[in-house]
Structure 1
Amino acid sequence: MKIVLMGVAGCGKSSVGVVLGEALALPYRDGDDLHPAENIAKMSRGEALTDADRWPWLALVGQALRAPGIIGCSALKRSYRELIDAEAGGGVVFVHLSGSRAVIEGRMRGRTGHFMPPALLDSQFATLEVPAPDEQAVVVDIDQPLQAVVAEIVRKLKRLGLAAGGSPPDPEDI
């Protein structure tokens, strides 16, 4: 299984990725770790990335998914998701961690040590193209406890025939 946890900055990709990886026995990797230093410096200055900035990074994200696993990556546009899927050799499922601007901004303001400032949130929402029905994607509302988000993802993956086993994990066990 190849999964991209996608969404705007601050939606919880890293937090969900670690717990979902444990629930599905898959390795999790943070796509931010694949950004070139120039991209991180640009975002740290409050400058939004351009498509030209993103293409090499997105190719690396896709290449990291040539083996089964989970990766957190904004994947905001359909064209980005198509590149990731192509670089991964196909079969990538995108899990859109969806939330309101207010919820996400609150989370961003509460986190420390991250290069992405809340000032770039508007550009993230402006760029976001919600996955279309013909894409292999599921949408999950993040305005619920982490364990509930992960359980909902597992249920939706099972409906797609992708997650193994019986019932979703009990939130108490995650």
Structure 2
Amino acid sequence: MIYIIMGVSGCGKSTLGAVLSEKLGWPLYEGDDYHPQENIEKMARGEALTDQDRLPWLLKLHEIIQRERSSGSDALVVCSALKRLYRQILLNGSKALAASSSQDQEIQPSTSTGVFFLFLHGDYDLIYQRMVARRGHYMKADLLRSQFDALEPPLDDENVLSLDISRSITDMAMVVEKHINRLKTTPAVF
């Protein structure tokens, strides 16, 4: 299984990922580590990334997801995945881009891929305060509004488990562990 921990900057993706990685013994791929240097510099200047800026980053994360899936491994991937198209790229790579450029065709995320999105969501003011308080991150709190503006919350057909960040990290991790256990004990339907 692959869990992509998604949401706007400052919602606790990396913290939840680290806790889950330690509890489950799964590798954690921190999306921020795969941004091209140009993206990091742009965000550090307070400039929002464009879809074009994000494309190489999303394709790199797609490669990691595919590699882990191909090997039959479990893994955690931290990625904002703000838009439906971004989530489709994470799942389908460049095929999602071809489908999005076609007027009548859209790749729908598969509900049987073994890839699940953990959508961390919460109040703008709470997340803004967290971002102001954190140190050493290149993403400026002033960019949070652009992330909320770009956010397309995932739909049920995207294998999503929504987690309200007003809950503690421990509580959210327990919900995820229950989800995993339920999936592992439920027989596959063919």
From 85, 91, 99, give the equivalent of 1:79. 85
Aligned-partner SS, 2:41: helix
Percent of pairs with identical residues: 44
User: Separation in 1 of the partners of 2:139 and 2:185?
Assistant: 32
CA separation of 1:146/1:163 partners in 2, compared to 1, >3 Å: closer, same or farther?
farther
Written as runs of structure 1 = structure 2, the 5 A alignment for 1:95-134 is 95-134=118-157
CA distance in 2, matches of 1:98, 1:156: 18
Mapped partners of 1:163, 1:140: distance in 2: 22
Structure 2 segments unaligned to the other structure (5+ residues): 69-73, 94-112
How far apart, in 2, do the equivalents of 1:91 and 1:49 lie? 29
Residues 163 and 15 of structure 1: is their aligned pair in 2 closer, same or farther, counting only changes over 3 Å?
A: farther
Larger radius of gyration: 2
| Structure 1 residues without counterparts, runs of 5 or longer | 165-174
Counterpart CA distance in 2 for 1:7 and 1:151 is: 19
Distance 1:62 1:91 in 2: 14
Matched residues, number? 162
Contact 1:2 1:70 in 2 (8 A): yes
SS in 2 for 1:70: strand
Return closer, same or farther for 1:82/1:20 CA change in 2, 3 Å cut-off: same
Partners of 2:185 and 2:17 in 1: CA distance: 15
Task: Report the AA paired with residue 116 of structure 1.
Answer: M
User: Could you tell me how far 1:104 is from its partner in structure 2?
Assistant: 0.6
Alignment check: 8 A CA contact 1:24 1:163 kept: no
Give 3-state SS (helix, strand or coil) of 2:119's partner: strand
Q: Give me the whole-angstrom Cα distance separating, in 2, the residues matched to 1:73 and 1:103.
A: 20
Q: Secondary structure at the match of 2:158?
A: coil
Output one character per residue of 1:66-121: Cα deviation in whole Å (capped at 9) or x when no partner. 2131011000001100110114xx43211001111011111111110000000000
How far apart, in 2, do the equivalents of 1:56 and 1:163 lie? 37
Q: What is the aligned partner in structure 1 of residue 9 from structure 2?
A: 9
Task: Give the C-alpha shift of residue 55 in structure 1.
Answer: 0.8
Aligned residue for 1:26, secondary structure, equals coil
Cα root mean square deviation, aligned? 1.8
**Matches for 1:1-174 after TM superposition, within 5 Å:** 1-65=1-65, 66-67=67-68, 68-87=74-93, 90-159=113-182, 161-162=183-184
Residue of structure 1 equivalent to 2:71:
none
- For 1:20 and 1:119, the matched residues in 2 are separated by 29
TM-score, with length taken from structure 1: 0.87
What TM-score do the two structures reach when normalised by structure 2?
0.80
Conserved 8 A contact 1:94-1:136? yes
Structure 2 SS opposite 1:153: helix
Instruction: State the shift of 1:163 in Å.
Output: 8.1
Is contact 1:3-1:94 (8 Å) kept? yes
